[in-house]
Amino acid sequence: METLEAIRTRRSIRKFTSEPIEDETVNKLLEAAMYAPSARDTQSWHFIVVTMKELLHRIPRVHPHANMAYEAPLAILVCGDLNIEHITEYNAINCAAATENLLLAAHDLGLGGVWLGVYPRLERMEPLVKLFELPENIIPISLIVLGYPNEKHSAPQRFKKSRIHFNKW
């Protein structure tokens, strides 16, 4: 798929078929994520690949908008590493870039996914730290739930001239 088309047609997908995702495809998603830009090229991310049904079913208990995880074959928790990047906000930005790359790659590969916000909401971060047994230096930033799509959304019109400012505000 052409890059601009992928960017324009990617939509959040929250309904999935029961088809599993092959390991090779998961690796492609992770590789795309790891090609994201990062501040000072620290690549300060880690990815928890969640395929165990028991864990997928526990996600909605700790995240208020994650019911789609019940039927999804895969979730990926994107985390920042404070030992690599000391500035928390840069971890958030680096992981956000990786998250979007991963979602675009998923769309290109015929998968669908949704970005679930985690950082900076402590009430979401703390139970995820416990659930996935994250060490102290690892902060959960975003959670991506993925699968083969069982719903379709058309591309909305989002180009807004009013948000563009040439040279000065």
CB atoms closer than 10 angstroms to residue 153? 13
Edge-to-edge strand order for the sheet containing 45-50? Answer: 45-50, 74-81, 138-147, 112-117
Minimum distance from CB of 59 to ligand FMN (Å)? Answer: 11
Nearer to ligand FMN, 158 or 161 (CB): 158
Alpha-carbon separation of residue 169 from 31, 48, 164, 165 (angstroms): 38, 41, 9, 5
What are the beta bridge partners of residue 45?
80
Which amino acid makes up residue 135? P
Minimum distance from CB of 50 to ligand FMN (Å)? Answer: 16
Query: Among 138, 142, 65, which residue's Cα sits nearest to residue 96?
Result: 142
List interacting residues with ligand FMN (CB under 6 A): 11-12, 14, 65, 114-117
Tokens 């699968």 correspond to what residue?
A: 147
Cβ-in-10-Å burial (0-12, 13-18, 19+) of 85 comes to: buried
Minimum distance from CB of 117 to ligand FMN (Å)? Answer: 3
Minimum distance from CB of 165 to ligand FMN (Å)? Answer: 23
Nearer to ligand FMN, 65 or 86 (CB): 65
Minimum distance from CB of 20 to ligand FMN (Å)? Answer: 22
Nearer to ligand FMN, 14 or 46 (CB): 14
Instruction: Name the residue with the smallest CB distance to ligand FMN.
Output: 117
Please, what is the end-to-end C-alpha distance for the chain in angstroms? 35
Nearer to ligand FMN, 118 or 138 (CB): 118
Nearer to ligand FMN, 57 or 65 (CB): 65
